[in-house]
Amino acid sequence: MNWKNTENKRFIQAILALKTADEARHFLRDLMTAKEIEEFGKRLKAAEMLMEKAPYLVIEKETGLSSTTVARVAKWLNGKEGGYKIIIERLHHHSSVQLRREMS
């Protein structure tokens, strides 16, 4: 994967330019099919479940993903890029900060 070519750099800039959940929803819906969006949501859920040490069979049943896809997500989760881990940690941190604010 070449992250330095013009198109890929521009794509990253586009993602970073999104400011609200509505903007993200609109952009992602223009970019992908409904099925692709659902698939990526399931992969993120699988990554979260893998971090919680859920068995593959439970993940497959709960997400509807194939064992091959769950294995691929596990490979990426534990790979050198670390993208899933960064996002999951930020999402969990954001959720805990929001919960603390709501309880104050």
DSSP codes joined into one string, 63-75: H---HHHHHHHHH
Judgement on whether residues 77 and 93 belong to the same structural domain of the protein: yes
Do 47 and 6 share a structural domain?
no
**Structural domain range at position 1:** 1-31
> Average of pLDDT values for 95-101?
61
What does the pLDDT average to over 5-18? Answer: 96
Residue 41 sits in the same domain as residue 25: no
Same domain, 69 and 19: no
Q: What is the mean pLDDT of residues 8-17?
A: 96
pLDDT band for 98, please (50, 70, 90 cuts). low
pLDDT surpassing 90 at residue 100: no
Asked whether residue 11 falls in the same domain as residue 41, the answer is no
R_g over Cα of the chain: 16
If asked whether residues 88 and 47 sit together in one domain, one would say yes
- The angle, 0 to 180 degrees and rounded to 10, between the axes of the packed helices 34-51 and 67-77 is 60
Per-residue model confidence (pLDDT) at position 93: 82
Q: Are 61 and 55 in contact (CB under 8 A)?
A: no
Beta-carbon count within 10 A of 59 CB: 24
Per-residue pLDDT averaged across 48-67, rounded? Answer: 97
Name the pTM for this structure: 0.84
Number of compact structural domains in the chain: 2
